[in-house]
């Protein structure tokens, strides 16, 4: 929530908390079982991460090419999790139209 233009939503059910930047998803997490989250990731980097960490798997209920499920309780170090959240946010921001970036006040940080 500390990132610019981020909002929280429950669009699917009362358990899946979705974080969006300028209306686009970049992180999903279960409220009832917050032991992992889904994050957007570069497809090539996704493959590498899944090979390196047991706690990083193809995104649960997501496009497996672009999303990973990242466990907070397995072998993924906390600094890497924070970095992956930042990368997910940046990937989504980069795909926003110029108009959306202007409306969200994101042009100055990207």
Q: Which domain holds residue 67?
A: 6-101
80 within some domain: yes
1 within some domain: no
What is the value of pTM for the model shown?
Answer: 0.92
Q: Each residue of 2-52: pLDDT tens digit?
A: 888 999 999 999 999 999 999 999 999 999 999 999 999 999 999 999 999
28 within some domain: yes
CATH number, domain at 32?
A: 3.90.1150.30
Q: Beta 56-58 vs 36-40: how paired, if at all?
A: unpaired
85 within some domain: yes
The domain total for the chain is: 1
Q: Are the C-beta atoms of residues 94 and 110 closer than 8 Å to each other? A: yes
Strand order in the sheet with 67-71: 6-9, 16-21, 24-30, 36-40, 67-71, 56-58
106 within some domain: no
33 within some domain: yes
Confidence class of residue 109 from pLDDT cuts 50, 70 and 90? low
61 within some domain: yes
42 within some domain: yes
At 1 the pLDDT is: 82
The pLDDT of 79-85, averaged and rounded, is 98
Beta strands in the chain (DSSP E): 6-9, 16-21, 24-30, 36-40, 56-58, 67-71
Q: Are the C-beta atoms of residues 36 and 70 closer than 8 Å to each other? A: yes
């Amino acid at each position: 929530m500390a990132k610019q233009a981020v909002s929280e939503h429950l669009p699917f059910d009362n358990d899946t908390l979705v974080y969006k930047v300028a209306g686009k998803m970049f992180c999903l997490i279960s409220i009832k079982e917050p032991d992992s989250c889904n994050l957007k990731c570069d497809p090539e980097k996704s493959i590498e991460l899944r090979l390196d960490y047991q706690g990083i798997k193809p995104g649960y209920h997501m496009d497996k090419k672009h999303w990973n499920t990242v466990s907070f309780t397995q072998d993924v170090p906390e600094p890497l999790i924070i970095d992956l959240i930042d990368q997910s946010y940046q990937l989504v921001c980069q795909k926003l139209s110029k108009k959306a970036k202007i409306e969200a006040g994101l042009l100055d940080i990207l």
